[in-house]
Structure 1
Amino acid sequence: MTSFAHDFPFDPAYGLTLDDLSRIPAPAAPEDFAAFWKARHDEARAVDTAPEAGPVEEERDGVRLHGVTYTSVGGVRIGGWLALPVEGEVEHGFVVGHGYGGRQGAGPDVPLPLSRSAAILPCVRGMGSRSRLPGVPDEAAGHVLHGIGSRDTYVIGDCVADLWCAASALQELLPRLAGPGRLGYLGESFGGGLGALALPWDDRFGAAQLTVPTFGNHPLRLTLPCDGSGESVRAHHRQYPEVTEVLRYFDAATAAMSLELPTLVAAALFDPAVPPPGQFAVHNALAGHRELMVLRAGHFAYEGLAEEGAELTRRRERFFGAWL
């Protein structure tokens, strides 16, 4: 069990050891869980994404970063960044999800895990500097509740579709990346949870990394205090307990039971924003080849963070080098 000095009014390790965390299961899926997500995926794949890349905005870490926009479900125009290698032909492609802080730029998601890679780094609807949407809150506590009254209106489902449409846009811009298993996925926190929901239904992806993924094991998450978006959902649940029926369809651990592509999970023992039991529930449920890197902490600054981050970078490069 990892412990740090902190001033949170709760224990971000929740009194659990690594052995405890390794046994946390995923909730059972609703009977029509797969049918629901496959229908959402079919809808997203039918979208004409009409991607448009702008001029170079920045060059670093072996890539040139362009602004990019594309169309997602509901006709919503999504913005973000397109990374293209400075030298050489594109050999690999990535879709990169972001955390619930949004995305103001490509930031630490560049450099990419493999050389000669291209990537699309979208801001999902309502979030970041390029996909704000009237009526959709752009801060986590409000965004995570938007449309939560129904599985068909919940914004998280549309954000998953934004990732599928990002993959379509990347392959349209770079046809050499078209085909099954050609793309990798990277997602941290919010982006990790969205990735777990998106990946089981899309054969264009060949491998994925999920770092401190959120949305794992909602029934358990509703019992655990935190200072992330989950606390907003907990407060809403106290007033509207029937929301549990909607959340069943957006459980990253439940989805992971159908996720068969190779997946590297970095899960934390101590995390005030995304409770570790939910993170490990995602890893434990994975149906295919899985690798785990245990982090001392997530969403928390601590001595040794840089060294642990460097080790995760090395693990990521080896992992994608083996599977893409």
Structure 2
Amino acid sequence: MTVTLVHDFPFDPSYGRTLDDLLRIPVPGGPEDFDDFWRAQYRAALEVAPEPEVGRLVEERDGVRVFEVSYASVGGVRVGGWLVLPAEGPAEHGFVIGHGYGGRDAVGPEVPLPLPRSAAILPCVRGMGERTLLPDVPSVSSEHVLHGIASRESYVIGGCVADLWTAASALLELVPELGELADGGPRLGYLGESFGGGLGALALPWDERFAAGQLTVPTFGNHPLRLTLEMTGSGAAVRRHHAAHPEVADVLPYFDAATAATRVRVPTLVAAALFDPSVPPPGQFAVFNGLGDGRELHVLEAGHFEWGGVDAERDRLDGAVRKFFGRVLG
């Protein structure tokens, strides 16, 4: 049953779309060299020796130990974050966990992990959170999302995706048993919400080390449509910038999460919202619509919005995520 949400936004965060409407949102085909561009980005990331360094033990809870960690990524950037290891015994599953815009300053609700006996790396991608602040990259989301946007080679989003790939490299170096658990190499899972969801959609098609993904209210879906929709958050900054610099419409198609989703070949669970003032639902559902076989949908009433049912909805989603990874990775 759909919940009527009371809000004071000067626009409708449901954008007048029903669930049936959202499931028919089209997916941009993308530039002809979309695949070539991203495969080259991935090759460059794989060439980086991650040189991970494990720091102090931060806490022990829920059957895991949490450590500070850092590793090398593309462009000479050293990424900081957290490493989660089982308190006892070897790891049987591995996860890379992205974050929303604004970064993360601690390991929070991502622990406990979706599966027991798991290891995970939780990076703060370049410019985000206290662990990966950089002098030349803004840390405020509305400025970060515009950094280097004049060209596909310089756009910061490409570097952020690379930070996820190099996070996987660092995790596999630190927890080598993860690469020995299955025939054919590692079978990692990816989780990401909002900003991290969009980055995940861009990262998953090219990296065969990931066997499954889970994307919650993913951003960067269907840029041509997003540019026509009023919203809050980082998307509003891109929309304003495009109005003043329409030439960025030639860059954004390379970073469209919905286009990338059409290239994903692993089981992927998308949690998409019917109401979201920061990441318009049409863009979220475009990411889901782009996926092929193995896609699963978990419908949320709202994203990026506090309402009376948010805790219960989060609990239901957590249960769905555990069930999903238990089936595809367990």
- Which category describes the TM-score, using the shorter chain as reference length? over 0.9
Is 2:106 aligned against 1:101?
no
Counterparts of residues 32-181 of structure 1 (less than 5 Å): 32-178=33-179, 180-181=185-186
Find the aligned partners of 1:63 and 1:188 in 2 and give their Cα distance.
Answer: 22
Take 2:305 and 2:295, find their aligned partners in 1: how far apart are those partners? 25
4+ residue runs over 6 A deviation = none
Q: Which residue of 1 aligns with 2:280?
A: 275
RMSD of aligned alpha carbons: 0.9
SS of corresponding position for 2:11? coil
CA distance in 2, matches of 1:300, 1:283: 21
Distance across 1 between alignment mates of 2:327 and 2:96? 18
Is 2:252 the partner of 1:247? Answer: yes
User: Does structure 1 residue 227 correspond to structure 2 residue 217?
Assistant: no
Contact 1:2/1:13, CA 8 A, preserved across alignment? no
Please, which moves more after superposition, 244-253 or 84-93? 84-93
Q: Given the alignment, which residue of 304, 312, 315 partners 1:307?
A: 312
2:178/2:186 contact within 8 Å kept = no
Q: CA deviation at 1:181?
A: 4.7
Kindly tell me the number of residue pairs found equivalent between the two proteins. Answer: 324
Residue matched to 1:11:
12
TM-score between the two structures when normalised by the length of structure 1: 0.98
Query: What is the CA–CA distance in structure 2 between the aligned matches of 1:156 and 1:13, rounded to whole Å?
Result: 26
Alpha-carbon deviation of 1:117?
0.3
State the one-letter code of the partner of 2:232: D
Q: Tell me how far apart the structure 1 counterparts of residues 63 and 249 of structure 2 sit (CA, whole Å).
A: 45
Separation in structure 1 between the aligned mates of residue 131 and residue 230 of structure 2, nearest angstrom = 31
User: Which is worse superposed, 81-90 or 259-268?
Assistant: 81-90
Task: Normalising by structure 2, report the TM-score.
Answer: 0.97
Name the SS for the 1:162 alignment partner.
helix
Please state how far the C-alpha of 1:87 moved relative to its aligned partner.
2.2
Which letter does structure 1 place at the counterpart of 2:165? W
Deviation at 1:287, TM superposition (A): 2.2
Deviates more, 1:81-90 or 1:15-24: 81-90
Counterpart residue type for residue 48 of structure 1: A
Letter of the 2:315 counterpart:
A
Select 2:291's aligned residue among 286, 289, 302. 286
Structure 2 unaligned segments of length 5 or more: list them. Answer: none
Deviations 1:192-246 (A, max 9, x none): 0000000000000001100000000000000111111000000000001110110
Task: For 1:160, give the aligned amino acid.
Answer: V
Work out the CA distance in 2 between the residues paired with 1:247 and 1:53.
Answer: 36
Distance 1:182 1:16 in 2: 37
Residues 101-143 of structure 1, C-alpha deviations (whole Å, 9 max, x = no match): 2111111111110000000000000001100011110010000
> How far apart in 1 are the matches of 2:50 and 2:89?
26
- Give the aligned residue type for 2:10: P
